Amino acid sequence: MSQNIETPKQAKKQKKKKPQRLKARQPRGFVDRDSDDIRAGEQMMSTIRSVYERYGFDPVETPMFEYTDALGKFLPDTDRPNEGVFSLLDDDEQWMSLRYDLTAPLARHFAQNINDLQTPYRTYRAGYVFRNEKPGPGRFRQFMQFDADTVGAPNPSADAEMCMMMADTMEALGIARGDYVVRVNNRKVLDGVMEAIGIGGDENDDRRLGVLRAIDKLDKFGIEGVRLLLGDGRMDDSGDFTKGAGLDKDQADFVLAQISGEPNADATSQLNSAMQAGIAELAQIKDLIDGAGYGPDQIKIDPSVVRGLEYYTGPVYECELTFPVTNEKGETVTFGSVAGGGRYDGLVKRFTGQDIPATGFSIGVSRLMTALKNLGKLQANTVLAPVVVCVMDRDNDALAGYQRMVQELRVAGIRAEMYQGNPKQFGKQLQYADRRGSPIAIIQGSDEREAGEVQVKDLVEGMRLSQQISDNEEWRASRPAQQTIKRADLVSTVQSILSAQETERSA
RNA sequence: GCGGCUGUAGCUCAGUAGGUUAGAGCGCUGGCUUGUGGCGCCAGAGGUCGAUGGUUCAACUCCUUCCAGCCGUACCA
């Protein structure tokens, strides 16, 4: 620091001399949830849970932290975890990470308890997962997933069941048939397609990845966008260039033809065994869902489904919402995928050495909740605010009397609270009750107490009356929607006002 | 990561061709009013003008760098 010369700027700073206050904030991509959100979420999750239970799945819970190797998230050639996971070094020098999905921990749980668990092992679980990625609208670094999996079931019938359960869950949540669709594909088909255009084999790993990424962008950029990404590359709106997979025109045409039509076993049977196997599995899934009475408006085979995770080995499926929604900016967009999954036959084997087939899917609870809000299928705040018993007198007898009133109401099953703020200004108490959304306020001063009475104020009715009163003095003097009753009638009066309000709300 | 846009009060935003003391609405606090919500009246608190470095007699204003946010794009195991 320079000593004696004081610039004007420094002088200004000295003058301010403000203590640097701590800024209240969450880490980027992490959010607080309010009570409306929590209640709506719980209602939604209980609906999902009831569907899974009906299918015969049982809950299981695993911790949020796992050893990083159990998640399979060490970077190749280093002993550091992948950047995408939140990781820390335990005091015994072992890396542990916050789970980034619920599937890898389930595989670990199963492998660890393999001798005690009966197969097929059918479980569900909900929990927060964490991803250290750039957050965006509707994308957070901590979010809730709700998974169901069947471990030890090799047949496509297990995959078909997952698709049906997805469809049933959507409908149980109030999403109409036609507003969602479960799309099914098979990794083997995509592998076969890539083999057919001559990019099979280990040396083409990168190119295959590029092709899959390009296909995955179909709903975002359309067929022409995907064509560019399969070829040389694509320029985005900001002028930034994305390098493509480098296929030539014939290769790109073949891929596009395969992903945009129904897979045809006859036409492609001579191509290769991977495609044949994949197509046969899809045909079997189709037969099963048809046979169970699910139509193509609910579940359909769609060769453009890719899914990001690379541990999938067979059928992959995702549930997409198809109705248009209007976002905050008034633009009409389609919501896209809210759930996805697939078969992961290799995941348990990492622990056990035995081949253990498994399939399952995951619902993005937060995303789906946003969608349900858009559909108006999410009841906002069904919980009534408490009755507020005001504090007029602060002597012990009076206070005990208020507490007795509150208790009587609670015993009758009515949410109630005594005003716990500074009771000095009575107006503040009613203001508190008003802003809290309370249906009723209870008032008892010394006059009422001596007469064995209480004042019961209907805040909802009072709000309506306020619109006819423009003068502040008159509004106060008139004591709108307020009645004097016998103290003994407190609970019954409150009950009848509440039920009248209830009738009016539902009218 | 790359590209673009934006950072002024708790929120939404004015403002300055560089010039004394940075404003409004809403919100908040207190009072009118220890016996009445809304409407009203009076008063008040609240600002490192995102951070840093520079140009200048003088920077909220111009320039550098950084940070954060938004949009697009990539990555998303």
Task: List the Cα angle A361/A284/A117 in 5-degree steps.
Answer: 45
Report the C-alpha gap between A378 and A369 in whole angstroms. Answer: 8
The letter for the amino acid at A201 is G
CB-based contact A240:A224 (threshold 8 Å) = no
Nearest nucleotide to A478 by CA–C1' distance?
Answer: B36
Helix (H, G, I), strand (E, B) or coil at A125: strand
The letter for the amino acid at A358 is A
Look up the protein residue whose alpha carbon has the minimum distance to the C1' of B57.
A8
Q: Give the architecture-level CATH label for domain A387-506.
A: 3-Layer(aba) Sandwich (3.40)
For chain A, the first-to-last Cα distance in angstroms comes to 72
Is there contact between A134 and strand B, defined as CB under 7 Å from any strand atom? yes
In whole angstroms, B40 C1' to A476 CA is: 12
Task: List the Cα angle A198/A200/A203 in 5-degree steps.
Answer: 110
Is there contact between A74 and strand B, defined as CB under 7 Å from any strand atom? no
Is there contact between A25 and strand B, defined as CB under 7 Å from any strand atom? no
Beta bridge partners of A417: A388
pLDDT of residue A505: 86
Q: Which bases along strand B come within 7 Å of a protein CB atom?
A: 1-4, 30-31, 33-40, 47-48, 58-60, 68-77
Q: CB within 8 A of A57, min separation 6: which ones? A: A122, A123, A124, A148
What are residue A422's phi and psi, to 5 degrees?
A: -70, 115
Nearest nucleotide to A237 by CA–C1' distance?
Answer: B72
Work out the burial of residue A334: count CB atoms within 10 Å of its CB; fewer than 13 is exposed, 13-18 middle, 19 or more buried: exposed
In whole angstroms, B57 C1' to A8 CA is: 12
Q: CB within 8 A of A2, min separation 6: which ones? A: none
- Which A residues 241-300 have CB within 7 Å of strand B? 242
pLDDT of residue A269: 52
Q: Which CATH superfamily includes the segment(s) A35-64+99-375?
A: Bira Bifunctional Protein; Domain 2 (3.30.930.10)
pLDDT of residue A3: 30
Nearest nucleotide to A428 by CA–C1' distance?
Answer: B37
pLDDT of residue A10: 33
CB-based contact A79:A154 (threshold 8 Å) = no
Report the C-alpha gap between A217 and A144 in whole angstroms. Answer: 24
pLDDT of residue A242: 83
The sign one gets for the Cα dihedral A361, A366, A371, A372 is: positive
Is there contact between A237 and strand B, defined as CB under 7 Å from any strand atom? yes
Report the C-alpha gap between A56 and A33 in whole angstroms. Answer: 31
Secondary structure string (H, E, C) spanning A323-377: EEEECCCCCEEEEEEEEEEEECCCCCHHHHCCCCCEEEEEEEHHHHHHHHHHHCC
Nearest nucleotide to A462 by CA–C1' distance?
Answer: B37
| pLDDT, tens digit, 9 for 90 and up, residues A22-56 | 677 778 888 888 888 888 899 999 999 999 999 99
In whole angstroms, B67 C1' to A84 CA is: 22
Nearest to A205 by CA among A250, A151, A213: A213
Instruction: List chain A domain ranges.
Output: 35-64+99-375, 387-506
pLDDT of residue A78: 67
pLDDT of residue A34: 83
Is there contact between A470 and strand B, defined as CB under 7 Å from any strand atom? yes
Q: For A438, which DSSP code? A: -
Tokens of A41: 């979420």
Cα A439 to the chain's mean position, in Å?
31
Is there contact between A239 and strand B, defined as CB under 7 Å from any strand atom? yes
Instruction: Establish how many alpha carbons lie within 13 A of residue A147's alpha carbon, considering only the half-sphere containing its beta carbon.
Output: 29
Report the C-alpha gap between A397 and A416 in whole angstroms. Answer: 19
Segments of chain A scoring below 50 in pLDDT: 1-19
Nearest nucleotide to A86 by CA–C1' distance?
Answer: B77
CB-based contact A82:A74 (threshold 8 Å) = yes
Is there contact between A131 and strand B, defined as CB under 7 Å from any strand atom? yes
Report the C-alpha gap between A443 and A357 in whole angstroms. Answer: 66
DSSP letter for each residue of A251-263: HHHHHHHHHHS--
In whole angstroms, B37 C1' to A442 CA is: 13
DSSP letter for each residue of A391-420: ----SHHHHHHHHHHHHHHHHTT--EEE--
Nearest to A275 by CA among A249, A253, A254: A254
Beta bridge partners of A300: A183
pLDDT of residue A326: 63
CB atoms < 10 A from the CB of A307, how many? 19
Report the C-alpha gap between A246 and A225 in whole angstroms. Answer: 14
Beta strands in A104-247 (DSSP E): 121-130, 142-151, 180-186, 233-235, 241-243
Query: ipTM higher than 0.85?
Result: no
DSSP letter for each residue of A65-109: EEEHHHHT-BPTTSSSBPTTS-EEE-TTS-EEEE-S-SHHHHHHH
Report the C-alpha gap between A448 and A484 in whole angstroms. Answer: 9
Look up the protein residue whose alpha carbon has the minimum distance to the C1' of B41.
A472
